């Protein structure tokens, strides 16, 4: 199934760590798979949702290697990206996430 077909009709999508890394770092094997999603976000067809957990996971490698510009690229996209909602989480959201995940 192609990504465009999979996200057809989707209006809001949580962006997990791996796809963000593939997109920002222009990964040779996976960038094209993520491009359709981020094109949809850029065009306002999709609302991306991220969290502080995703941010922290994306920043570990750049910080470890002292790649401050790369770290800033992640911050700019995850926290300040257009059509991206940086959702702060609390105890209630954590519980709800666990309940949803337990049903999958």
Summarize pLDDT for 70-91 with one digit per residue, the tens: 999 999 999 999 999 999 989 9
Residue 89 domain-assigned? yes
Residue 31 domain-assigned? yes
Cβ–Cβ under 8 Å, residues 52 and 88: yes
- pLDDT tens digits for range 8-60: 888 999 999 999 999 999 999 999 989 989 999 999 999 999 999 999 999 99
Pick the more confident residue, 77 or 3: 77
Q: The domain containing residue 79 runs over which residues?
A: 9-102
- Bin 8: left if φ > 0, else alpha if -120 < ψ < 50, else beta: beta
Residue 46 domain-assigned? yes
The CATH code of the domain that includes 47 is 3.40.50.1010
Residue 4 domain-assigned? no
Of the CA atoms within 13 Å of residue 7, those in its CB half-sphere come to 21
Nearest-CA neighbor of 50 among 25, 19, 72? 19
């Amino acid at each position: 199934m192609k990504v465009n077909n999979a996200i057809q009709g989707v209006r809001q999508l949580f962006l997990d760590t791996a796809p963000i890394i593939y997109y920002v770092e222009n990964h040779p094997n996976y960038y094209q798979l993520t491009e359709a999603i981020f094109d949809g976000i850029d065009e306002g067809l999709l609302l991306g949702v991220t969290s502080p957990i995703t941010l922290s996971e994306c920043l570990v490698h750049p910080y470890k290697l002292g790649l401050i510009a790369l770290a800033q690229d992640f911050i700019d996209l995850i926290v300040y990206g257009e059509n991206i909602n940086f959702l702060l989480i609390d105890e209630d959201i954590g519980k709800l996430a666990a309940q949803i995940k337990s049903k999958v």
